[in-house]
């Protein structure tokens, strides 16, 4: 299980780094093929996951959660533009991150990175999907929800970590006032 968690974590981090580099290089190079740095980052992350033994718990699951939320939004929100799928996606994100217990503080800080990594991977795959292409507001709204989801995922994971930390502190006797 640890190998799968490390692979998911590093895939998300790699996708995010590929996205970040693509965004930074797009303006100076004016080359739309820079978006293919996202899957390159994913592959590099997968390769590095075999070399690293990290053992995080929450951030690996944020990567498929970002994928799930992006798919949910692309196939439910874009065709209908109803607000319910947006709220559902954010609710699923918060619920999942409150349920998952981060292994440490760094795990919580990696949650939004891997979440965005999964989200941008789906956005790359559906960039030519007709409802996304035809709706001029689709991409900005989807990325706004992705940013909001990443912030909520981080805050939820951080809250869960804080709760677990406080519970350990109280059970060890350090919580007596």
- What number of other Cβ atoms are within 10 A of residue 32's Cβ? 10
Over range 140-162, report the average pLDDT. Answer: 94
The model's confidence at residue 146, banded by pLDDT at 50, 70 and 90, is: very high
77-121 pLDDT tens trace: 888 878 888 898 899 999 999 999 899 999 999 999 999 999 999
The CA radius of gyration of the chain, in Å to the nearest whole number, is 17
The answer to which of 114-118, 130-134, 141-145, 171-175 has the lowest mean pLDDT is: 171-175
Phi/psi for 50 (5° steps) reads -75, -25
Please, are residues 86 and 73 in contact by the beta-carbon 8 Å criterion? yes
Please, are residues 105 and 59 in contact by the beta-carbon 8 Å criterion? no
Tell me what the pLDDT averaged over the chain comes to: 90
Nearest Cα to Cα of residue 89 among 19, 149, 151: 149
Taking the C-alpha atoms of residue 136 and residue 145, their distance in angstroms, rounded to an integer, is 15
Residue 82 pLDDT: 82
């Amino acid at each position: 299980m640890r190998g799968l968690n490390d692979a998911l974590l590093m895939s998300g981090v790699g996708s995010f780094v590929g996205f970040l580099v693509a965004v930074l290089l797009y303006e100076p190079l004016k080359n739309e093929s820079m978006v293919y740095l996202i899957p390159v980052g994913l592959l590099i992350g997968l390769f590095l996951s075999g070399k690293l033994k990290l053992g995080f718990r929450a951030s690996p699951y944020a990567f498929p959660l970002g994928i799930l939320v992006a798919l949910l939004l692309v196939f439910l929100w874009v065709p209908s533009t109803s607000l319910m799928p947006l709220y559902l996606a954010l609710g699923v994100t918060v619920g999942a991150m409150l349920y998952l217990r981060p292994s440490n503080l760094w795990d919580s800080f990696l949650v939004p990175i891997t979440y965005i990594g999964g989200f941008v991977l789906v956005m790359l795959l559906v960039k030519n999907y007709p409802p996304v292409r035809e709706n001029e507001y689709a991409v900005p709204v989807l990325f706004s929800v992705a940013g909001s989801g990443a912030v909520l995922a981080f805050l939820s994971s951080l809250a869960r970590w804080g709760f677990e930390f406080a519970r350990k502190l109280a059970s060890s006797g350090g919580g007596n006032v």
